[in-house]
Chain A
Amino acid sequence: MIDDRSLLTGLIEALHVLVLQRMKDSQSFRLIGSIPEWFRMFTGTPHVTEAEVQVYLQRPFLEHFLTEAHEFWDTHTFGQLASGLWAEQGQDGHDVQFEADAVAKDGVKLLLIQRVGSGNFGLQAVLQTARESGLQHHHALSEHKQVQQVLGGKLEQSERLRDDLVMILDRLQIGTIMTDEEGRVTFLSRVAQELLSMTEQAVAGQPWSDIQAFSESDTLSLQKMLLRAINERLKVPVMLELGKGRRVSLEIDVQEDPRNTQRTIFFLYDVTEVQGLRGLLTEKSRFFDLVGKSSVMTEVYRRIQDIAPVDATVLIQGETGTGKELVARALHQAGPRKDGPFIAVNCAGLTDSLLGSQLFGHKRGAFTGASHDHQGFFEAANTGTLFLDEIGDMPLSIQTTLLRVLQEKEITRLGESHPRKVDVRVVTATHQNLEELVKTREFRSDLLYRVRVARLYLPALRDRREDISLLAEIFFGQSRTATKKFDVQEISTEAMQALIKYRWPGNVRELRSALDYALIHCRGSTLQPSDLPPECLTHSDVLTLMGIHSGLDEKGQIFAALKRAKGKRAEAARLLGMSRSTLYRRLESLGLPSKG
């Protein structure tokens, strides 16, 4: 089992980073982890104290960077600001190169300082070559100047320069996309092809905004950046989801082509690794796609880390909507099979034969309609993970076959007689109580023992209310992008309170759809309680919402709601948190007209 704290300090040590946390007073810094060796060498002091670290921060470059960093920390809760490289002479007379980052995450402000070792001299070497060849080129050019100019070799020269530039960018691992005046892709460098997982032919001549790898919101951010003046542009952070759980974090620099400012060049910087490390240093609230920093979720993360490396079958239990598939994915991603396939199958609602052939495959002619040989999910998941959701709904006949497959590690396609070896890790999940199903003979007890070798319990959302606001913020951001309602800036405190109070029988899934619903209904710039689905609001919430004293009798409340809804009955029903038909019934029983 990995201990977070020792992982963190170990990581800091291994990376030789000096990590300082800005304190509440915004002036002083606290050391996190240990002081790296380079610091002793650089300052020439064998026993460094925190006081010496404070003095170090007053050296010219850092002092300068810190003014920028403080501004950044004071205005950002999330993000990072890099200092760029700088060099200073150390005690031994040699130049030492450094880089610093100001990181903000959930209100924690960190200053990371690294000594840039020979690793970075890759960059140095490439720039050196580029500039030296630039100089050589210049000398050669001045010698042959007249001839070159007369021959109008300019064109050729700029072509060559472009090739050189691209070669250098490739070596720097910076991807390049070039477009023409209409924004159609004219060039996609080798590195860009790798980063985006696509070939140049696939996009050449297409508008860059059609590039599949970019999400809609990323495309939008890039377009917005393009509208800015060139010197006001910033790198746009972009997250690519490339399937099979592969994610790439990029920073994209949008520049004009210096030869023709109507054309655009995108520079793609791969920051996945940096982000990953920074994430480890600063993030505790996410684990793969799972979100939450409550102690119950932290315990889930720990269990996943324990279970992921072993090949045992896992049973994930939890109410509907708690995110069992995400846990299964995390188990896959965190384990040795992560480069293999992950296949999810829902066992509910499929007939015996259909599920059987889906799982184990069939031979042509095995049953009516089997017109081809068919590979089942077990074979498809070979070397990877097969996730069987709602295993409690699996028909008994299939349970028997599954048990055999788990024991023998081989499957036989329907209609075939020879078995095939499969190397698959099986992860199962259910919202039902399998022991109860065993009692009623709907589930085989031997299969139960087999699948729950490792068990994982996912808490209901109401049992981890402290995660609700974090989840709500994340879903809010996602729904906002999906509905393109960028005018909606935030969730009001009252709406957030309502979300935190609600019971969430549908758990995280219900929370997500509640935010989708709210965004669709939201008219202003802040999401209000009245935008939430009515079931999320308690009766007294509704009343306060309408500015109605809860002492009012039912008739009074209904009147107030109708008044507020300007007579629209459907709206009044929504405000009151009742269905339209209930409202009609109440109106009738109170002797009020239900129509009109």
Chain B
Amino acid sequence: MIQKKICMLGAFAVGKTSFVKQYVTGIFSEKYHTTVGVKIDKKMVEIDGQPITLILWDLHGEDEFQKIRASYLRGSSGYLLVVDGTRQKTIAVVEDLHRMAQEILGEVPFVLVINKADLSEQWEIQKDAAERFRARGWMVIEGSAKTGEGVEQAFSQLTKSMVDD
């Protein structure tokens, strides 16, 4: 059985845990329960008829209290960068985390998720943000852990490019 490790990276409260939970169990909760440390989940998927176990490393949000330990990233086949559309500042955080991931992992596939699409009228980030990242060659998905929009898609796109890699 092939196992692939995926890390969830982003600022605090952007919806990393919610995104994984939606993907693994189909459940969403409004209640915010911050992650301390790492939370490990598994999900079995099939890509082109091939079964793969995804080991999902949901890391705590990066902020002034908790910095991501570089060693957590080691061995990842890919990662999701998550930003919160309603908070402009969360973009700078993923830019930093992306640089860190590149240093440790080299060029492995990643997907940028702009989360909380259900709150798009409250979005702080520019409407063309997604376009600008795509122009840099990034895979970008606007989605919502609440409605489930883009969740499957984000993980399956990532997994596909990990397998093709």
- Which A residues form the contact surface with B (CB < 8 A)? 59-61, 64, 67-68, 84-89, 95, 97, 99, 120, 123-124, 127-128, 130-132, 134-135, 138, 142, 165, 168, 258
Return the contact of B61 from the options A131, A132, A258 (Cβ within 8 A): A131
Report the minimal beta-carbon distance from A96 to chain B, rounded to whole angstroms.
11
Q: Nearest CB to that of B38 among chain A residues?
A: A86
Query: When the two chains form their complex, are residues B63 and A131 in contact, meaning their CB atoms are under 8 A apart?
Result: yes
Report the minimal beta-carbon distance from A313 to chain B, rounded to whole angstroms.
53
Return the contact of A84 from the options B37, B55, B61, B87 (Cβ within 8 A): B37
Q: Nearest CB to that of A65 among chain B residues?
A: B71
The 18 sampled A-B contact pairs (Cβ below 8 Å) are: A60-B5, A60-B55, A67-B74, A84-B72, A85-B38, A86-B40, A87-B35, A87-B39, A87-B40, A88-B39, A97-B37, A127-B65, A127-B66, A128-B32, A128-B33, A130-B65, A131-B32, A135-B13
Q: Give me the 9 closest cross-chain CB pairs, A-B, nearest first.
A: A85-B37, A86-B38, A87-B39, A60-B55, A131-B12, A88-B40, A128-B34, A124-B36, A86-B37
Residues of B within 8 A of A87 (CB): 35, 37-40
Interface-central residue, A59, A124, A127, by most chain B CB under 10 Å: A127
Query: When the two chains form their complex, are residues A60 and B40 in contact, meaning their CB atoms are under 8 A apart?
Result: yes
Interface-central residue, B5, B65, B71, by most chain A CB under 10 Å: B65
The docked-state distance in angstroms from the alpha carbon of A132 to that of B63 is 13
Given the interface pairs A89-B41, A131-B13, the reply to whether A258 lies near B34 with Cβ below 8 Å is: no
Return the contact of B87 from the options A68, A123, A138 (Cβ within 8 A): A138
Interface-central residue, A64, A97, A142, by most chain B CB under 10 Å: A64
Given the interface pairs A128-B34, A131-B12, the reply to whether A64 lies near B75 with Cβ below 8 Å is: yes
**What 1/0 mask marks residues of chain B from 33 to 73 whose CB sits below 8 Å from any chain A CB?**
11111111100000000000001010001011110010110
Q: Nearest CB to that of A145 among chain B residues?
A: B124
Query: When the two chains form their complex, are residues B39 and A124 in contact, meaning their CB atoms are under 8 A apart?
Result: no
Residues of B within 8 A of A61 (CB): 38, 40, 57
Report the minimal beta-carbon distance from A15 to chain B, rounded to whole angstroms.
19
Return the contact of B74 from the options A60, A64, A86 (Cβ within 8 A): A64
Report the minimal beta-carbon distance from A593 to chain B, rounded to whole angstroms.
69
Residues of B within 8 A of A85 (CB): 36-38
Residues of B within 8 A of A88 (CB): 39-40
Q: Majority SS of interface residues in chain B?
A: loop
Residues of B within 8 A of A123 (CB): 36
Given the interface pairs A60-B40, A135-B13, the reply to whether A258 lies near B64 with Cβ below 8 Å is: yes
Residues of A within 8 A of B87 (CB): 138
Q: Nearest CB to that of B75 among chain A residues?
A: A64
The docked-state distance in angstroms from the alpha carbon of A430 to that of B33 is 64
The docked-state distance in angstroms from the alpha carbon of A132 to that of B69 is 23
Query: When the two chains form their complex, are residues A84 and B34 in contact, meaning their CB atoms are under 8 A apart?
Result: no
Interface-central residue, B13, B36, B65, B87, by most chain A CB under 10 Å: B36
Residues of B within 8 A of A84 (CB): 37-38, 69, 72
Query: When the two chains form their complex, are residues B36 and A142 in contact, meaning their CB atoms are under 8 A apart?
Result: no
Interface-central residue, B37, B41, B74, B124, by most chain A CB under 10 Å: B37
Residues of B within 8 A of A134 (CB): 12-13, 63
Q: Nearest CB to that of B41 among chain A residues?
A: A89
Residues of A within 8 A of B64 (CB): 165, 258
Interface-central residue, B5, B38, B69, by most chain A CB under 10 Å: B38
The docked-state distance in angstroms from the alpha carbon of A95 to that of B63 is 23
The docked-state distance in angstroms from the alpha carbon of A68 to that of B69 is 12
Residues of B within 8 A of A60 (CB): 3, 5, 40, 55, 57
Given contacts A86-B37, A89-B41, 17 further A-B contacts (CB under 8 A): A60-B3, A84-B38, A84-B69, A84-B72, A85-B38, A87-B37, A87-B38, A88-B40, A127-B34, A128-B33, A131-B12, A131-B63, A134-B63, A135-B13, A135-B32, A138-B87, A138-B89
Residues of B within 8 A of A120 (CB): 36
Query: When the two chains form their complex, are residues B65 and A168 in contact, meaning their CB atoms are under 8 A apart?
Result: yes
Q: Nearest CB to that of B35 among chain A residues?
A: A87
Q: Nearest CB to that of B42 among chain A residues?
A: A60
Report the minimal beta-carbon distance from B40 to chain A, rounded to whole angstroms.
5
The docked-state distance in angstroms from the alpha carbon of A62 to that of B5 is 14
Query: When the two chains form their complex, are residues B34 and A95 in contact, meaning their CB atoms are under 8 A apart?
Result: no
Report the minimal beta-carbon distance from A42 to chain B, rounded to whole angstroms.
13
Report the minimal beta-carbon distance from A142 to chain B, rounded to whole angstroms.
7
The docked-state distance in angstroms from the alpha carbon of A142 to that of B124 is 9
Residues in B15-32 with C-beta less than 8 Å from chain A? 32
Report the minimal beta-carbon distance from A173 to chain B, rounded to whole angstroms.
14
Residues of A within 8 A of B35 (CB): 87
The docked-state distance in angstroms from the alpha carbon of A88 to that of B37 is 11
Report the minimal beta-carbon distance from A99 to chain B, rounded to whole angstroms.
8
The docked-state distance in angstroms from the alpha carbon of A97 to that of B34 is 13
The docked-state distance in angstroms from the alpha carbon of A87 to that of B87 is 27
Residues of B within 8 A of A89 (CB): 41
Residues of A within 8 A of B32 (CB): 128, 131-132, 135
Query: When the two chains form their complex, are residues A131 and B34 in contact, meaning their CB atoms are under 8 A apart?
Result: yes
The docked-state distance in angstroms from the alpha carbon of A165 to that of B63 is 12
Residues of A within 8 A of B75 (CB): 64
The docked-state distance in angstroms from the alpha carbon of A164 to that of B55 is 36
Residues in B86-118 with C-beta less than 8 Å from chain A? 87, 89
The docked-state distance in angstroms from the alpha carbon of A367 to that of B41 is 83
The docked-state distance in angstroms from the alpha carbon of A124 to that of B13 is 14
The docked-state distance in angstroms from the alpha carbon of A130 to that of B36 is 13
Residues of A within 8 A of B40 (CB): 59-61, 86-88
Given the interface pairs A87-B40, A88-B40, the reply to whether A124 lies near B34 with Cβ below 8 Å is: yes
Report the minimal beta-carbon distance from B119 to chain A, rounded to whole angstroms.
11
Q: Nearest CB to that of B87 among chain A residues?
A: A138
The docked-state distance in angstroms from the alpha carbon of A128 to that of B63 is 12
The docked-state distance in angstroms from the alpha carbon of A258 to that of B65 is 12
Residues of A within 8 A of B34 (CB): 124, 127-128, 131
Report the minimal beta-carbon distance from A257 to chain B, rounded to whole angstroms.
11
Residues of B within 8 A of A68 (CB): 71
Report the minimal beta-carbon distance from B2 to chain A, rounded to whole angstroms.
14
Given the interface pairs A134-B63, A138-B87, A168-B65, the reply to whether A127 lies near B13 with Cβ below 8 Å is: no
Residues of B within 8 A of A95 (CB): 39
Interface-central residue, A132, A138, A168, by most chain B CB under 10 Å: A138
